[in-house]
Chains A and B, each alone.
Chain A
Amino acid sequence: SQQGEEDPQALSIQEGENATMNCSYKTSINNLQWYRQNSGRGLVHLILIRSNEREKHSGRLRVTLDTSKKSSSLLITASRAADTASYFCATYNQGGKLIFGQGTELSVKP
């Protein structure tokens, strides 16, 4: 299975702290994506990093990709209570199916 793994499964931090989530995957990829899911809502695409990129920024988000280790990380800087959500990494397999990691549940306490 190409399903990735994410760690930690759950992360609890104080507002203003940084949050780092890690993702590993198993096969070669064209890109890797990160999604956020607020409780009871759909997933929202956050950022896509291509296989030839090593780092990408979007606002308070920083994503890194290490294709040699088949791993990626998502850093949220200066976290806010509104960042409380589940975060999933995802990659497409050769059959065109988006494979999600198990997700990291982030809780940011005010």
Chain B
Amino acid sequence: DAMVIQNPRYQVTQFGKPVTLSCSQTLNHNVMYWYQQKSSQAPKLLFHYYDKDFNNEADTPDNFQSRRPNTSFCFLDIRSPGLGDAAMYLCATSNMGGQPQHFGDGTRLSIL
């Protein structure tokens, strides 16, 4: 089945230690998104790629970066995680703008 896969499902890192979350898709969608979701809140968009074009949200901290080496893969890098970065990180894809998004099951990030 075509899907969006996030690895790992759970990630524990130390305060200030860089961490990378990964997302892959078999849907061949043009657009890939990264969201941060904290408990009992709606997902918050961090950035998205439309093909290779990177679009950063104005309020996304500089600490967060992303790479999309090809259509199928996208990575979220957190350079120096702080306690406030503990959250669920969701990857999503869509065929084009304005269409339903397909989400992975997320990576829950804990900071020690």
B97 touches A92 (CB 8 A): yes
Contact A45-B98, Cβ < 8 Å, known A101-B42, A102-B41, A103-B42 = no
- Bound complex: CA of A31 vs CA of B45, how far in Å? 19
Among candidates A31, A42, A92, A96, residue contacting B90 with C-beta atoms closer than 8 Å: A42
For the complex, count residues of B whose C-beta is within 8 A of A. 23
Report A-chain residues with C-beta under 8 Å of the C-beta of B108.
40
Q: Using C-beta atoms within 8 Å of the partner chain, give the interface range for chain A.
A: 20 to 34
Report A-chain residues with C-beta under 8 Å of the C-beta of B105.
40-42
A20 within 8 A of B: no
A44 within 8 A of B: yes
Among candidates B45, B50, B104, residue contacting A98 with C-beta atoms closer than 8 Å: B45
Of all chain A residues, which has the CB nearest B57?
A97
Interface residues of A (CB under 8 A from B): 3, 30-31, 33, 40-45, 48, 88, 92, 96-98, 100-103, 105
